[in-house]
Chain A
Amino acid sequence: MLLPFLAFALILQASLPQTSQRTIAIDEAFAAEAHLKVGDRVAIAARPGASAAADMVVIGAIVRRGADPSQVARGDFVARLHLDQLQRISGYGDRVDRFAIATRRSGDIDRTLLRINHVAFGFRAYRSSDIAVETSRTFQVVSRFHRAIGVITIVASSIFLLCIMVLKVEERRRDIAALRLMGISRSSVVRSIIIEAAVVAVLGSMLGVVLGWATSLFVNWHYQALYRTPLYFSIVTPPVIGLAVSLSLILGVGAGVLASMRLVRTPPLELFGR
């Protein structure tokens, strides 16, 4: 059984009283994988097969995993032990690898960092925000990669939209020619095509938002189950919806203007093929 020794477990459980019936907490992925439930008795040891040194404990709690992107792809299981038991099993004694310090006032942080780094040889203190930035670098790269894909998609779809609008308007050359012959002005023709393009763009983007939202639900359901994490892999936020609809509207109207201007500049008789 693999037991990653987590610093927070050491800190949180340090002062708990010893009892004859020791308990541990395990994460839900661990519980699912090993078919464990609250109340089960298990033997724990530092190394697999070390039955002589094993302690019998009771599963006291099964906890959900945090929404931590850095943990998603890792196959680790987490078990939290009382500190004294963990120290004894691991043979670490009073040693710790990492620990966290909370200050009462934010103004004390710099002073505390300075002091620890000055006096505690072998230790290095960081702000939690700095650690968060450091650990999320990979995700920033991934995020930029996604943005690049998004930009390529927008460029491709805008070309597609323009082609659709041009084809759609081209199909109606003769209808537009007839309108012009009836005395409908160029501006009225352009206006009607732009309105149509805008309606198509807005309806299309709304449909896209609904599809995106449904796909997002499926993606989250699938990967949350796969990685046993509450992390959201895909989100459709109001700003994203606003951006999608606005962009689509701008592109649709632009495509409508280009397509209609091309036609109304052509003499009606030429549109009729005469």
Chain B
Amino acid sequence: MSSLTRPRSGALVSGSAKSDVNPLVSLREVRRDYALGAERVHALQGVSLDVERGDYVAIVGPSGCGKSTLLNLVGVIDQPTSGTVTIAGKRVDAMSDREATSFRLHNIGFVFQRFYLMPILSALENVELPMAEAKVPSDDRKARAAELLEYVGLSSRERHRPSELSGGEQQRVAIARALANHPDILLADEPTGELDARTGAEIISLFRRLNSDGTTIVVVTHDEDLANATRHKVHMRDGRIVDA
């Protein structure tokens, strides 16, 4: 496995080369209400949170406390009922669908619990996918995809399809894919949830290496080992941050 970090122009993982006085992610008095039949559910009740560039944050708490809602807002998948969300100096809480899609493509990397790799594409092609959408030239994206797969320790498996890979290998491909477009921040929702303890430990180790190489990471998890491996833990309960 390699562990290099280069400037933005050719960075393998991004983050450390950027210097910014303001936090990378800033949430201010964010509320998110849902209509559930005749009732309104207050998923987030005035949450404020800053995530510095290069930080590694775990959001923890019991089920239904608002962790995933918070991650969705930081991931520009959802919009708050009130309050502001700023990422890399840009307000993202009221973006149109088109703007939000483009912002996610270029600024945010997602890692899901269930990997969601395209079954007909090889590992290399799966990593290339976001770069193809971002119109990266074919040679450049192939080179970067190969480099990222080498980084996550899968250079020998780049021609394999997801069905030929183990769960841990699939998750590592998904992490490489999430890093493809040099995102400002990597968001992970229960990234070890589908993995056994040993494979989960490999992913935790990979996340630590990514963070030490400069990637800003926010994970939502019930996995204590993963939460303990982060720099900061944000505890949530009933839609509020109770300890940060």
Contacts and interface: CB of A to CB of B under 8 A. Distances in A.
User: Is B one of A's binding partners?
Assistant: yes
Interface of A: 174-175, 178-186, 188, 268-269, 274
Contacts of A179: 116, 129
Interface residues of B, number: 26
Given A178-B110, A184-B133, A269-B72, 19 more contacts: A179-B116, A182-B110, A182-B130, A182-B177, A182-B178, A183-B108, A183-B130, A183-B133, A183-B134, A184-B101, A184-B129, A184-B130, A185-B101, A185-B102, A186-B101, A188-B133, A269-B77, A269-B78, A274-B68
- Which of the listed residues B101, B105, B133, B177 has the most CB atoms from chain A within 10 Å of its own CB? B101
A182 B105 contact: yes
A123 B181 CA distance: 91
Nearest to A183: B105
B118 interface: yes
User: What 7 pairs across the A-B complex have the smallest Cβ distances?
Assistant: A183-B105, A178-B116, A183-B104, A184-B133, A181-B110, A185-B101, A183-B101
Interface of B: 68, 72, 75, 77-78, 97-98, 101-106, 108, 110, 112, 114, 116, 118, 129-130, 133-134, 177-178, 181
B98 A185 contact: yes
Contacts of A180: 101
Contacts of B177: 182
A66 B233 CA distance: 91
A155 B111 CA distance: 43
A188 B105 CA distance: 13
Contacts of A184: 101, 105, 129-130, 133
Contacts of B97: 186
Contacts of B116: 174-175, 178-179
Contacts of B130: 182-184
Nearest to B183: A183
Contacts of A174: 114, 116
Given A268-B77, A269-B78, A274-B68, A181 B118 contact: no
Nearest to A174: B116
A45 B193 CA distance: 96
B133 A181 contact: no
Contacts of A181: 75, 77, 104, 110, 112
A178 B173 CA distance: 14
16 contacts: A178-B110, A178-B116, A179-B116, A182-B133, A182-B177, A183-B108, A183-B134, A184-B101, A184-B105, A184-B129, A184-B130, A185-B98, A185-B101, A188-B133, A269-B77, A274-B72
A185 B99 CA distance: 10
A272 to B, nearest CB: 9
Nearest to A184: B133
A185 B133 contact: yes
Contacts of A274: 68, 72
A4 B98 CA distance: 82
B68 A183 contact: no
Contacts of A268: 77
A175 B112 CA distance: 11
